[in-house]
Structure 1
């Protein structure tokens, strides 16, 4: 079942290689289509919101943002999203639904706990404790 976000009347017209000019409702969260190329197929049009990014020392660890392919056909690879709005996550290279996104957040929480355990272990080693 499709769950498009309300567009508040905004539309975007984009050139495509297979359907010419295509006019679509544009979700309020869409950051625009500055990178759209005219040789794009209609099924590959992507609404993308701004990413949230976890970076450390200038390196991007993970990024995520809303995404929707409003003209997608039946997906041959559902992990890349479709007509239903999802959250695109990289470098996981998947578009996740809410349940999957909560699972990722739980995995990241678990990883953070493991990092804290390593920090505790390293602190003990550096203090001359456990080797």
Structure 2
């Protein structure tokens, strides 16, 4: 059984060398940052990734800490549509005054997550 891969507008063909299927050509969407980071992958491990959106907080107690990383992610041989990859990381005990700043960063992080989700939803409408 063969599953037809969807096409995204403004895509360009890219050939990747896979360990299980040899050279595989995929349509790389315009938002993809490239595949230089992928080495020795199987066909199903090919992933398109967008630029990472980030949110950081600067606290007295812990210095600068990453709170959020999010990006569009699409494995064309596994996923039918682009998805949103999310990394959330914030741990520690904070001074009470710092928590106001941390709360503001979390609001910013939520807004950035919503923006990336909106992009993914928009792209779903373009996938054929």
Output the TM-score relative to the length of structure 1. Answer: 0.56
Equivalent pair of 1:3/1:85 in contact (CA under 8 Å): no
Unmatched 5+ stretches in structure 2: 59-63, 90-105, 111-128
CA 91–3 in structure 1, closer or farther in 2 if over 3 Å, else same: farther
CA 3–17 in structure 1, closer or farther in 2 if over 3 Å, else same: closer
Q: 1:62 aligned to 2:68?
A: yes
Equivalent pair of 1:8/1:28 in contact (CA under 8 Å): yes
**RMSD, matched Cα:** 2.7
Deviations 1:69-127 (A, max 9, x none): 0012xxxxxxxxx23101110138xxxxxxxxxxxxxxx55xx9xxxxxxxxxxxxxxx
Higher-Rg member (1/2): 1
User: Which residue in 1 is equivalent to 2:48?
Assistant: 47
Where do 1:91-102 residues align within 5 Å? 91=88
Output the TM-score relative to the length of structure 2. Answer: 0.57
User: Using the alignment, how far apart are the partners of 2:87 and 2:29 within structure 1?
Assistant: 22
Total equivalences in the alignment: 85
CA 10–90 in structure 1, closer or farther in 2 if over 3 Å, else same: same
**Other structure's SS at 1:33 match:** coil
Q: Which of structures 1 and 2 has the larger relative contact order (alpha carbons within 8 angstroms, sep 6+)?
A: 2
Unmatched 5+ stretches in structure 1: 73-81, 93-107, 113-131
